[in-house]
């Protein structure tokens, strides 16, 4: 089938990877390597792309059958089933067991405010071009309700996307197949007529299992767009492409 839609993740694809430098925060605080990632996010399949290059030693990977489940408070936050305030209460309660010490939330909040944030504008321009050229464009993001105003203000959402699916609004999160199906439904395309780009390998694998062409984003925006163009130019089908 001819590709009719391109669906994008936000963090790490349109924006720079979030939570970069968390390993430095751990070291400064004297916490074990990988422990803040485990405390905050709970699973290595999610962790692997939130902080590229950060050690996840000692973090247990999620079992394949558990990847679709809501098994951690971060998942509940992303599906709108928990408020950010309650999430941080939970973080505080779990911290001594995971970090070996109480978490210094004040220090963490200072770190969070200092995190680098930026948009890959070549990606935004390419999305605009794709829409102009007749492709349906979608945004599929695992996100937090309280972060919505900030990330939506960072890019011209309504100008470049035909549909936006935010996990915290629909009560589902990647890699649950239903959230990909919902996105395709909103765009009016079959899954095998879509390309999906994400920096989380588990999310990419779930999309591929539904028949989507895929780009696993592991490099910068130019490499990402080159991989996408190879799919669109060749109408690559089958296993998709890891860019």
Quote the CATH superfamily of domain 5-16+117-234: HAD superfamily/HAD-like (3.40.50.1000)
Residue spans of the domains in the chain: they are 5-16+117-234, 22-114
pLDDT digits (tens, 9 = 90+) for 102-117: 999 999 989 888 877 7
List the single range of 58-62, 64-68, 152-156 with lowest mean pLDDT.
58-62
Q: Residue 54 pLDDT more than 50?
A: no
Closest CA to 166 of 203, 198, 138: 138
Residue given tokens 């890891």 in the structure block: 242
Q: What confidence tens digit (pLDDT) does each residue in 1-39 have?
A: 799 999 999 999 999 887 777 888 999 999 999 899 899
Statement: residue 185 has pLDDT above 70? yes
Q: pLDDT band at 43, cuts 50/70/90?
A: low
């Amino acid at each position: 089938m001819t590709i009719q839609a391109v669906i994008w993740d936000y963090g790490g694809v349109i924006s720079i990877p979030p939570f970069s430098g968390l390993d430095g925060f751990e070291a400064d605080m004297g916490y074990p390597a990988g422990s803040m990632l485990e405390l905050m996010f709970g699973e290595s399949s999610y962790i692997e792309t939130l902080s590229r290059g950060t050690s996840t030693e000692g973090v247990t990977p999620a079992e394949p059958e558990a990847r679709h489940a809501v098994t951690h408070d971060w998942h509940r936050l992303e599906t709108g089933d928990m408020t950010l305030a309650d999430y941080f209460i939970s973080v505080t309660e779990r911290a001594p067991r995971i970090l070996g010490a109480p978490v210094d939330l004040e220090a963490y909040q200072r770190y969070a405010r200092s995190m680098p944030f930026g948009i890959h504008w070549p990606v935004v321009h390419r999305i605009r071009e794709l829409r102009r050229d007749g492709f349906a464009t979608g945004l599929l993001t695992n996100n937090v309700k309280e972060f919505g105003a900030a990330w939506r203000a960072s890019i011209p959402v309504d100008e470049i996307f035909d549909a936006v699916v935010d996990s915290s609004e629909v009560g589902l999160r990647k890699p649950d197949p239903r959230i990909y199906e919902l996105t395709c439904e909103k765009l009016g395309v079959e899954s095998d007529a879509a390309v999906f780009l994400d920096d989380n390998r588990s999310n990419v694998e779930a999309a591929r299992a539904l028949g989507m062409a895929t780009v696993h984003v592991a490099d910068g925006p130019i490499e990402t767009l080159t991989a996408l163009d190879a799919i669109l130019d060749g109408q690559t089908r089958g296993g998709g492409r890891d860019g």
